[in-house]
Amino acid sequence: MKSKRETVDEKKPMVTPSSSLGPTCLPSAGHAQIDAVGKDPLMLSSPLLRSRQLLYDELDEVNPRLREPRELFSFFSSRGPLQSPKWPIECEVIKENIHHIEWVPPEPEYFYQPTGDEKVPEIVGEEQGTVVYQLDSVPTEGAYFTSSRIGGKRGIIKELAVTLQGPEDNTLLFESRFESGNLQKAVRVGVYEYELTLRTDLYTDKHTQWFYFRVQNTRKEVTYRFTIVNLLKPKSLYAVGMKPLMYSQLDATTYNIGWRREGHEIKYYKNNMDDGQQPLYCLTWTIQFPHDQDTCFFAHFYPYTYTDLQCYLLSIANNPIQSQFCKLRALCRSLAGNTVYLLTVTNPSRTPQEAAAKKAVVLSARVHPGESNGSWIMRGFLDFILSNSPDAQLLRDIFVFKVIPMLNPDGVIVGNYRCSLAGRDLNRHYKTVLKDSFPCIWYTKNMIKRLLEEREVLLYCDFHGHSRKNNVFLYGCNSNSRKHWLHERVFPLMLSKNAPDKFSFDSCNFKVQKCKEGTGRVVMWRMGVINSYTIESTFGGSTLGSKRDTHFTIEDLKSLGYHVCDTILDFCDPDQTKYTQCLQELKELLQQEIHKKFSNFGQDMDLEASWSDIPLSDIESSTSGSDSSLSDGLPAHLLNIANELNQKMLLKKTKKKRLQTRKQRNEQYQKNYLMRELKLAEDTPTQLSGREKGTSLDPPLTSLVLPKNKETIQTQLSGRDKGTSLEPPLTSLVLPKNKETIQTQLSGRDKGTSLEPPLISLVLPKNKETIQSKKPGFTASCSPKRSTNSGLGPAPDVKANWPRTRYPATRKDRSAVAAVYPSLHIYTYP
């Protein structure tokens, strides 16, 4: 008798669960089987039917469509831990988890007002101070990223801070080996004074701006001074009132107080001990800690780490409502193997036509890892677009949002300010073809390229931070089309009206500079996205409206994300009243700007005539962004390979370097000849005597070296008997560079007897004479650059011929000589 399971299996095959199926679909026969299952109430109630891919409607009837296999793309699980960040294997990482609470100060935090009496401490250095913290695992110059692992460097993590000598020891204990941390060295130069050195971006010697570190063993009611000694930018918002951020662990746990602006006697000035390569700048400030034995943190701006992002995305993935219209995918893996996340936010469409009609909006952040304000704006945008607000629902109905919340997770993890682990600024390489070196950028551009093939991309925004200007503003691209003239300025003008106390339209710039051709906004604009922007948010605060002279808080940045959503709705409103008003206002603003420019030059212009024909690039100044030349070029690992190849090529060229003059060449050949003669003398036995007729017992003629003199050298062989050679071996005939005939008289010979040595090598000079050597029985061509009729010497009854012209010998002539006389080797000048 068959079991119940066998009976069920015979009726209909079970559908494999999605976890084992993978991204495959059932064949057409499978659809028929599912339909049969839907009609069988026994199968509906059977506990053996475990597939999560079957869709049910309200009547519990099985829909023959398969559910999208979400688990295949789900990176988070409520039952499992988050993915741990991967670090370069050179980096030491402490095991503690660093977490900060979010908090909004109840009162505005005003800028510091310089008094002019701020102290400018002289840099002492470790020669006169005491090093109390120093990283020893930072990659050296010329190093490049090779591999990564969770937890970074293997082995035991040693304590870098000094060991306290007792409870009375008030030395601060520093630490920065955690996510986004950046501190290279701390030197104690006074009882309560410390000089701090920031670590440059990994695998570079540049970009010191972002800082984030921890101090322990504090004392309250004592004034401490911290001085960062190796900043690189000559201008900074610290010079106009910006304060550093401080976080007290005791305040957070006891009073629920988070990050706040602190600091007095703030001064930004040039370092008097620069390294000679590039000028360095210092930031100094004083502070009083609120508690004894507290753990405090200092940061350039509100940190937002890779783990913070993953926690936020986990909450979305576990939200049953938000996960219906927000799909989380992996865009790619970074160099270190960390996931670059891509979110697709849109409401499900009722028909394919409705889905295809939706326009796209692309948003990204943290291509520069030290600009954490971009993440907080992105956080505010996602909070709103994923909410149940009517405006958010409307946006999801009419748009497809592609969101990349963290483009450079590796840089964020290791605490870089600007670069990835390739040692390059990713926002200068959107035109790259090096997919393996810049995967985050390459896949982002490729995703947008495919998106443009499917639908119109209405807007591209890349969120950044700015260290030298207050407020929020953006960089755009001037449209060259008269049809869309000034249209690219409508969106930022609308945004300035929606956030008048934060966004400054006057600070916006739309000039496309050559050095910015590799940025995201310019590349996307050239791909066809008219409204392509870089939104810059200050590290400081606002100088506008009700928030004038106050620092931005986390809530201010989040609200800007909401204002971006609000502005998109205004920009696409079917009622074009706002759009038309903004265009008219832009024209008036531009007329005023043109009039101002011409007034400065002392010229008059009829603004009612052809003012719109003036190129906008002539009106605007250049952007105040960072110099892209600092981060151009090949990635660090390829640059290292290129340098090695260049060095090898230089060595090769040095070895094969040709001599420059004929004199040098002759000297070199003579030197080589003498070396060969010495070797030959060692290997050749004593000369044989008593030759017979027809036998050549002379040593071989190895070389004819032609000197630069005009004398004729005659070699006379005398005192010979027939068939007997009494002279020493003739090893070299030195021929002059003149027009005289070289005659070699050989006496005491019989006809048919050769007393000359065999010709082994002839070295011919670059002169205009032709050397003829004639011997009974053969004629050889010895110079490929001369007439092929020359012999070893002139015949007795023939006048020597010295042609002035040169005729290069053919390859055929050479091969013929080598074939007839195998012992003949022809040497020529190169």
Q: Tell me the residue type at 396.
A: R
Q: Are 197 and 184 in contact (CB under 8 A)?
A: yes
Query: What six digits make up the tokens of 262?
Result: 């602190």
**Are β-strands 359-365 and 457-466 bridged in parallel, bridged antiparallel, or unpaired?**
parallel
Helices then strands, counting H and E runs in the chain, come out as: 19, 28
Pairwise CA distance, residues 145 & 607, whole Å: 57
* In contact, 562 and 384? CB cutoff 8 Å: yes
Name the nearest CA neighbour of 213 among 160, 171, 174: 174
Using an 8 Å Cβ cutoff, are 493 and 585 in contact?
yes
Whole-number Cα distances in Å, 190 to 67, 124, 193, 265, 691: 67, 10, 5, 17, 100
Yes or no: say if 729 and 757 are a contact pair by the CB < 8 Å rule: yes
Q: Residue 652 contacts by C-beta under 8 Å, 6 or more apart in sequence? A: none
Spatial separation of the C-alpha atoms in residues 496 and 723, rounded to whole Å: 113
Nearest CA-CA partner of 112 in 247, 267, 230, 257: 267
User: Is residue 488 among the annotated active site residues?
Assistant: no
* Per-residue three-class SS string for 227-260: EEEEECCCCCHHHHCCCCEEEEHHHHHHHCCCCE
Q: What is the 3-state secondary structure (H, E, C) of 345-358?
A: ECCCCCCHHHHHCC
| Crossing angle between the packed helical segments 577-600 and 554-571, to the nearest 10 degrees | 110
Distance CA 407, CA 464 (A): 11
Instruction: From 345, 586, 326, 361, select the one nearest 460 (Cα to Cα).
Output: 361
For tokens 């009854």, what's the residue? 797
The neighbour count for residue 634, using CB atoms within 10 Å, is 16
Residue 305 to residues 251, 257, 371, 381, 772, Cα–Cα distance (Å): 21, 20, 11, 18, 87
Phi, psi of 137 (to 5 degrees): -115, 25
With a CB cutoff of 8 Å and minimum separation 6, the contacts of 744 are 714, 715, 733, 793
CB 417 within 8 A of CB 429: no
Distance CA 729, CA 677 (A): 12
Q: Dig out the tokens for 414 from the structure.
A: 């290791």
Q: Which of 689, 642, 623 is nearest to 464 (CA)?
A: 623
Q: Using the Cα atoms of residue 637, residue 641, residue 642 and residue 644 in order, give the sign of their dihedral.
A: positive
How far apart, in Å, are the Cα atoms of 144 and each of 197, 323, 424?
Answer: 22, 39, 11
Give me the DSSP letters along 558-597: HHHHHHHHHHHHHHT-SSTHHHHHHHHHHHHHHHHHHHHH
| Catalytic residue, candidates 179, 536, 756, 769 | 536
CA–CA distances in Å: residue 726 to residues 646, 680, 748: 58, 21, 11
Do 615 and 635 form a contact (C-beta atoms < 8 A)?
A: no
Contact 506, 516 (CB under 8 A): no
Catalytic annotation, residues: 536
